[in-house]
Structures are given as structure tokens and as C-alpha cells.
Homo-oligomer: A and B are copies of this chain.
């Protein structure tokens, strides 16, 4: 065994240990959002802060630095090889982590837990002012984090963004968002002017919660989420967390009077889950056994939720069982009317319930506001007003309450700043990937209408999931599709679909 192979193996062992420890935190975080008794929040914050500190210590050990240096000094790794990718991405992560003092890491963790609970309560009670002190603390900490990370010549925000979308900058994202915004605004206006308005009241009839749960689980299972290695629970804000091999967890929330929330939410999270379950188990704990970016992650969830789940073909396969499952709500509703209702486009307050077209505008609004918060151009105390003004500008309607406005999302409370743009990136990536899968597999629509999801799932497994962090997002896109990121595939898909629906 050469010295560098030995060093590489030792690096992998250390990475796996740090990942194993991190996965213990992941269970504590999952539990915090699902089953933690209310009075346990303070203790949980202490637990998570301790764990964050210990993970940080493992992941920043000088031994990892020495091993990296040794490995970088030899040139035996092939380009695009697993080893090269593991070394490259470990270096990236190691450099990020070592710039952060353990105190800050623990503080961020502790405040995130407490702030999350404050957010849940403030949102329930519709009081922005109750959340404000936590937001202020969090923005201060995130600015401190950005400063510690450094952002040579770029914006402080970019240092945060890099955690979720390695290598991306706000400038690159704005370049992609700008033409997308123009096209979407035109499309929304055309849809509005069409005068067509589907009957969405059929989606707010009575859908018993237990029936929704069964139906969501059966759909998630059918598209390929493995419940032997996973589960679905309830949380205030839906999420997916991949704990480790054989353990990936989805959450959703149910509203008896609203079908799409839990159902498409579950498809969305199952899309994340299928990515996590598709990572190669033998690489667990190393970069090539991890998802490559949140943008790519969202491309998977948004693809299953929208390109698959809101397609006509999908309901060719599922509508009969939906009617059987919800006879009271759907017996007299035609499949076409149902299909039109779940694809109704109109300005609305809540991002996670927004249609495919306006969804990206919700993201752009958040992207602008969180950049301003980190730059110091917007004070947290002015957020509610700024949100409402910008919302009115984008959507022509003004949120009636903070819960329908700046309090609706969990992210900022949990310190996830720089996360939002990855959703819209995900929509763009998804359009690229879906086209490529369609080209290579041939007739995706027909497969879907027959309930044959295995070919698409396995294509994604092989092309994307099993690659882990071998390629960064844009390079992965290039390798898989031969294309560079563009708004065009997404705009083309949306135009095609909605022109037909709204006679444009």
C-alpha cells in the first residue's frame, strides 16, 4: 500500500467518524421538529450545541489538515475520480469549518434551536414582534459567520450561499434569475388575462387526514421511496432528512380542508428522500456519498412534485384511486377538472402551496430580502414592511397577516440563509434533467401514465444520486445533459403546459 493510499484510507475513516457523529445530531434535529415535548426545547438546544461543537472538533482536527496536505501533494488521482472528488470536497469543507471558531458553531446551533421554537409560536400567534429579537440575533450571528468565512471581493451573502450551493455566487444566480423573472412575469400576466379560472374549491372539500396519509404514503412508495428504510411523520414545516444508510425520514403536515398541501408536500419530500436513499451506502460519510448541492437536491424534489406529480399522465394513473380514497370530495369531479385545479395559477401568499409558475417569484423575493438583511441594507425590524411592499410589487396582493407573510417559512429562524435560491435553481435543473431523461428513456409521459416510475427513478439513481459530490452542480448538469444552466428549459416547459391549460 502506497503512503498516499494509506493516508487516503485514514482520511476516509476520520470523515466517516465525523459523519456518524453528525448523523446523531440529525436524529436530535428530526426529533426536535416531530416529537419533542414543548418543555424540552431548552435541553434540546444544549444537546444540539454540544453535538455541533463535537462535530466541529472532529471535522476540523489538525490530522485531517495534515492528511489533506499530504494527499494534495501527490498527483496519482485521476481527474473526476472518486478519490480526487473526496479530496477536493473535503478540502472545501475543511477550510470552511476551520475558519469558524467552535464557540460560534455552538452558538449558532443553540440560537437556531431556540429561535426555531420562538418562530413556531410567533407564527401560530401571528406576532412578528415576538420573533424579531431572535431574527436580530440570528442575522448578527450569520453576519459574523460570513465575516469569519471571508468572501474576497464578493458579497458576505456569498459566503453563506456557498454552504448550500458550493461554488455559486449571488451574481451568477441573479444572472439566471433575471431572464427567468421576465418570462414568468409575462406568463403570469397572460394567464391572468386569459380569464380562465379553474374551480379550486374541489381541493378544499373534506379530505380526512388518515385517508390523506394513506394516499400520500402509497404514492411516495409507488414513485420509489423505500419505507423499509424510511418513514413519514408530521412536522410544522415539512422536510426530509437523510440520517444514514437505511434511515431517511420525511415529514409533512395535514389540513383536512386542503388536499394539495400534504400530498404534493409528501411527493416533494419523497423526491428528496429518493435522492438520499440513492446515495451509495459504501460511501456514507464521504463527499461522494453525499448530495452535491441543495440546488440539485431541489431538482429531485421539485421534479417528482411537479414535473411528475402535477402532470396529466400522473393522474391518468392515480385519479381512480384518489376518487376511491376520497369519495365524498371527488366522486362527481372529472379528472380534467381535478387536473386543472391542481394546476391553478394565481398569486397567493404561501410559497410551499404556490403553483409552479408563481413559485419562483416567491423565491426571488426571499433572495432579495435575505441579501439585504446580510448586507445590512435592511434591518430585521423593517422586514415585515419590506416583505409586504415587495410582495405587493411582485404579486399585486398584500399579505393580510405575518403568518401569510414574512413568518411563513422556517428557514431564517433556523439560520438557513442562502438556502432559498436553491429552490429556484432546483426548478431550472429539474427541467434540464427531465428533458434529458425523456430523450434517453423515450416517452416518459407514457411510462408515468402507466405507473411505471422505475425507469425514471433508476435513471436518476445512476446519473445523479450515485455520483454524490463527485461533480459539483453545474458540472454534473453538463456531464448528465451536455447543457449549461439556463432558464430556457423551465420556461419552455411551463409555457407548453400552461398555454394548453389557459388557451394562451
Task: Please give the residue numbers on chain A whose beta carbons come within 8 Å of chain B beta carbons, in ascending order.
Answer: 17, 20-21, 23-24, 27-28, 31, 35-44, 46-47, 50-51, 54, 226-231, 233, 243-249, 284
* Majority-rule SS of A interface residues: helix
Q: Are B23 and A43 in contact (CB under 8 A)?
A: yes
- With known contacts A20-B46, A20-B47, A50-B20, A40–B233 Cβ distance under 8 A: no
Q: Are A37 and B244 in contact (CB under 8 A)?
A: no
Nearest opposing residue in chain B for A248, CB measure: B37
Q: Are B229 and A39 in contact (CB under 8 A)?
A: yes
Residues from chain B with a CB closer than 8 A to the CB of A17 are 50
Q: How far is the CA of A244 from the CA of B230 in the complex (A)?
A: 27
Q: Are B244 and A47 in contact (CB under 8 A)?
A: yes
- Tally of this chain's copies: 2
Q: Are B24 and A28 in contact (CB under 8 A)?
A: yes
Minimal beta-carbon separation of A40 from chain B (angstroms): 3
Q: Are A43 and B233 in contact (CB under 8 A)?
A: no
Q: How far is the CA of A446 from the CA of B417 in the complex (A)?
A: 60
Q: Are B50 and A21 in contact (CB under 8 A)?
A: yes
Residues from chain B with a CB closer than 8 A to the CB of A244 are 40, 43, 46-47
Minimal beta-carbon separation of A110 from chain B (angstroms): 12
Q: Are B228 and A38 in contact (CB under 8 A)?
A: yes
13 sampled A-B residue pairs with Cβ under 8 A: A21-B50, A21-B54, A23-B47, A24-B28, A37-B229, A38-B229, A38-B246, A39-B229, A39-B245, A43-B244, A43-B246, A46-B244, A47-B244
Q: Are B35 and A233 in contact (CB under 8 A)?
A: yes
Minimal beta-carbon separation of A244 from chain B (angstroms): 4
Q: Are A246 and B37 in contact (CB under 8 A)?
A: yes
Nearest opposing residue in chain B for A39, CB measure: B246
Residues from chain B with a CB closer than 8 A to the CB of A44 are 247
Q: Are B37 and A247 in contact (CB under 8 A)?
A: yes
A37: contacting residue among B40, B41, B43, B227, CB under 8 A: B227
Minimal beta-carbon separation of A267 from chain B (angstroms): 19
Q: Are B23 and A247 in contact (CB under 8 A)?
A: no
Residues from chain B with a CB closer than 8 A to the CB of A28 are 24, 27
Q: Are B21 and A247 in contact (CB under 8 A)?
A: no
- With known contacts A54-B54, A244-B40, A246-B37, A27–B23 Cβ distance under 8 A: no
A245: contacting residue among B42, B227, B249, CB under 8 A: B42
Q: How far is the CA of A45 from the CA of B375 in the complex (A)?
A: 45
Q: Are B231 and A43 in contact (CB under 8 A)?
A: no
A247: contacting residue among B43, B247, B284, CB under 8 A: B43
Residues from chain B with a CB closer than 8 A to the CB of A20 are 46-47, 50
Minimal beta-carbon separation of A28 from chain B (angstroms): 6
Nearest opposing residue in chain B for A21, CB measure: B50
Residues from chain B with a CB closer than 8 A to the CB of A243 are 40, 43
Q: How far is the CA of A322 from the CA of B413 in the complex (A)?
A: 44
A35: contacting residue among B41, B227, B231, B246, CB under 8 A: B231
Residues from chain B with a CB closer than 8 A to the CB of A23 are 43, 47
The 7 closest A-B pairs by CB, nearest first: A40-B247, A39-B246, A39-B229, A43-B244, A40-B246, A43-B245, A39-B228
Residues from chain B with a CB closer than 8 A to the CB of A31 are 27, 31
Q: How far is the CA of A27 from the CA of B50 in the complex (A)?
A: 14
